Amino acid sequence: MTTALLEVDNLSIGYRTTTGIDLAVDGVSFRVDRGGSLGLVGESGCGKTTIGMGLMRLLASNARIVSGQVRFEGEDLTTVSEERMREIRWRRISMIFQAAMNALNPVHRVQDQIAEAIITHEPGLSSHAVAHRTRSLFELVKIPEDRLQDYPHQFSGGMRQRVIIAMALACNPSLIIADEPTTALDVIVQNQILRAIGTFQKEMNIGMIFISHDLAVVADVCTHIGVMHAGSLVEYGLRQEVLDCPGHPYTQMLVNSLLTLSDEPADLSSLVGPTGTNGPAMSGGCPVHTMCQNATAACRREQADWVALSTTHRVRCQHAGEQP
């Protein structure tokens, strides 16, 4: 087995509240390989964005990593100094944000914003080299060169997203964390962006964590899929495994809600009860026991351990593997 690019081991992230610490992420473990991509799926509030922020150590001031390890290229990101983290940021791990947000500074030209990333991490480069790389990045994401001098507000949503992608690729990182990169875009543009991301990733052998609430999007581009709910990872496996044989009831619901043009109307019967609690993990019990048809007393009492459905596929359910 090759050494993973990124190995997250039992990571827990919590927010300080007046009553103590609420866990937004509870004991999550996964790995990402070079050239591989993990799709983290779940409803909003399940903690997937927090994981992304936590990996980069960009958490809000009232949040902190409570326990766990994040092994990346031989270092544990939870314990390195802030200075070292700044060096790692963007140079080795970069991020792709949602384009609808003000992710780009409105008063700087896009060329300068990309160049800034390059110059910060590779100060030795001549300005000529920096300009050259900026131009080639724009070529890569297929934005006309004459738009380099423009300001962010002059781009459409899709184009802005391409700029953000170009910026993320600027320093040749080994890992990219993409947080809902296609959420604000319309479907056709969404598709283009996904194609683009997939291409770069393969060509440049970059590892990727793709965070989204939309399983359909993740199903398109990722090699692995991780399903999250209320701060816990409930299922993890190869893309095909998870899609074809979802072991966890929650995953089953998600898969069944996937609408495709060719299928018969989706089977939504497995959606039962209220959509359950979300947000920071509540104590005790499986996080989806209120939604699940097959919930038993054991489910309400405690969260199950991992059950391996195959060497690459694991599920956290008491009744995993049992046939309904």
Partner 1 sequence: MGLKRFILRRLVEIAVIFFVIMTVLFILFRLAPGDPVSRMVDPSMTPEDARLLMESMGLDQPVWTQYLYYLKNAATGNMGVSFHYGEPVTHILLNRLPNTMLLFTTSIIISALLGVFLGKIAAWKRGERTDTLMTIGALFCHTLFLPWLALIMIWFFAYWLGWFPITGMVSPDVWIDPDAGFVVKALDVLHHMALPLMTLVLIHFGSYLLVMRSSMLETLKDDYILTARAKGLDEKTIRDHHAAPNAALPVVTTVGLSLAFSINGGALTETVFTWPGLGRELVFAVSHADYPLAQAAFLLIAIVVLLANLVVDVLYAYLDPRIRY
**Residue among 3, 10, 62, 105 that touches partner 1 (CB under 8 A):** 105
User: Which residue stretch of 15-23, 150-158, 205-213, 273-281 sits at the interface with partner 1 (rule: CB under 8 A)?
Assistant: 150-158
Shortest distance in whole angstroms from residue 94 CB to partner 1: 7
Cβ proximity to partner 1, 58 vs 308, nearer residue: 58
**Residue among 16, 44, 62, 101 that touches partner 1 (CB under 8 A):** 101
Cβ proximity to partner 1, 11 vs 118, nearer residue: 118
Q: Which of residues 60-89 bind partner 1 (CB under 8 A)?
A: 85-89
**Residue among 151, 184, 198, 306 that touches partner 1 (CB under 8 A):** 151
Residue 106 binds partner 1, judged by CB under 8 A: yes
Shortest distance in whole angstroms from residue 54 CB to partner 1: 13
Q: Compute how many residues bind partner 1; rule: CB under 8 A.
A: 28
Residues 6+ apart with CB under 8 A from 156: none
Shortest distance in whole angstroms from residue 144 CB to partner 1: 16
Task: Starting at the earlier edge strand, list the strands of the sheet with 20-32.
Answer: 20-32, 6-17, 63-72, 75-76
Shortest distance in whole angstroms from residue 103 CB to partner 1: 5
Cβ proximity to partner 1, 113 vs 318, nearer residue: 113
Residue 15 binds partner 1, judged by CB under 8 A: no
User: Which residue stretch of 12-20, 117-125, 264-272, 285-293 sits at the interface with partner 1 (rule: CB under 8 A)?
Assistant: 117-125
Tell me phi and psi for residue 320, to 5 degrees: -65, 140
Cβ proximity to partner 1, 183 vs 278, nearer residue: 183
* Long-range pairs for 144-148: beta carbons < 8 A, 24 or more residues apart: 147/110, 148/109, 148/110, 148/111
Shortest distance in whole angstroms from residue 18 CB to partner 1: 19
Looking at the DSSP bridge assignments, the partners of residue 71 are: 7, 76
Cβ proximity to partner 1, 117 vs 255, nearer residue: 117
Residues that bind partner 1 (CB under 8 A): 56, 58, 85-91, 94-95, 97, 101-108, 116-117, 120-121, 150-151, 153-154
